[in-house]
Amino acid sequence: MNALKTKYLEIYNSIDFNEIKDHPNILIAARFWDENRYQAAKTFYKFMRAIDDLIDNHKAANKTISVDDREKFTVEVNKWLSTVLDGNGTDPFHQELTTVFKKFRLPAWPVEAFARSMIYDINNSGFPTLQDFLDYSGGASVAPAAIFVHLAGLRELENKYSAPAFNVKEATISCAIFSYLVHIIRDFQKDQLNNLNYFAEDMISKHGLTKEDLYAIAKGAPVTPGFRSLIKEYVILADDYRLKTYDCIKAVWPYLEPRYQLSFEIIFELYLMIFERIDFEKGSFTSEELNPTVKETKERVLKTIENSRTLI
């Protein structure tokens, strides 16, 4: 058996797929990195998840954020930004975050973009236009994806790291937006039931719908033709970004070591697996329908390893 394949299968067999709940696709793919970079990813995504959940959980419980709470949450996000960029955190986890940020030469722009999106979340309950959503995605999705791409693309010599030899932002945008469009369709029901809506108001209106219609469908009302046409338009948009993602992966491929090449294949395949489940003609768009099981996820990762171009 190919030595690389044996190594990848050993890592695959060590993964507890049931335990990976936050950023599951990213952390499954990153598990194939060397341990230092994998732990760096876990540290950073844990912190980003905590900030995101702080806002989403409040909206889920209260529907809206009061003016006083907006100010409080904005202060929290700005403190988070300062902790990362200025290294002024005092507790052990914040200090660990600062160490990761410096050691792995992480750029400031993804952190700043993520903070802008979180502040948008604090002050808004949706997106007036599709362009507003895409702009928001530049922080909410492109930022965490950029951390993944940056860590995978680092050049290492004697445990010291140099920045990737390619433009991380250019390499990230298409794949991040593809994954985020897939993400909001997959999580439609869960988000609606938690008072969250990621579908743009101009797109909802274009298809003869209201936000109340979306909530009713999430609650179990019949899926309307207008909703199917809305999802179809988002699927077409996602498919365009899917095709662009192939070009992005092709462009960075020569700059990646085999295990990092494999991680790109895995994360793309895991989102592609969800994309393939979306049936805008006959689907019910429930969480159960659109979320792959742990068994299906494991099978897709195994198939990706077996067919990986890193083994050719």
Q: How far is CA 117 from CA 121, 143, 261, in A?
A: 6, 10, 29
Question: How many CA atoms lie less than 13 Å away from 98 in the CB half-sphere?
Answer: 15
- The reported pLDDT for the residue numbered 22 is 64
Task: Report the pLDDT averaged over residues 20-39.
Answer: 89
**Predicted local confidence at residue 2, as pLDDT:** 81
Q: What is the pLDDT of residues 250-275, one digit of tens each?
A: 999 999 999 999 999 999 999 999 99
pLDDT at 192 over 80: yes
Q: Which domains does the chain have, with CATH numbers?
A: 3-10+24-311 (1.10.600.10)
Q: Is the pLDDT of residue 235 over 70?
A: yes
CA distances from 198 to 132, 139, 304 (A): 10, 14, 30
pLDDT of residue 88: 73
Which pLDDT value is given to residue 210? Answer: 98
State mean pLDDT over 188-209: 96
Phi then psi for residue 160, to 5 deg, are -115, 145
Each residue's pLDDT tens digit, 75-133:
988 888 888 888 776 778 778 888 888 999 999 999 899 999 999 999 998 999 999 99
pLDDT at 41 over 60: yes
Report pLDDT digits (tens) over 270-289: 999 999 999 999 999 999 99
Helix 67-86 vs helix 92-103: angle between axes, to the nearest 10 degrees? 50
pLDDT of residue 311: 67
What are the angstrom distances between the C-alpha of 268 and each of 3, 28, 97?
24, 11, 27
How far apart CA 312 and CA 140 sit, in angstroms, is 35
DSSP per residue, 52-78: HHHHHHHHHHHSS--HHHHHHHHHHHH
Determine the distance from the C-alpha atom of residue 92 to the mean position of all C-alpha atoms in its chain, rounded to a whole number.
Answer: 26
Q: Select from 127, 75, 79, 83 the least CA-distant residue to 101.
A: 83
Average pLDDT, rounded, for the chain:
92
CA dihedral 226→227→228→230, nearest 10 degrees, is 90
Beta bridge partners of 271: none
pLDDT tops 80 at residue 159 = no
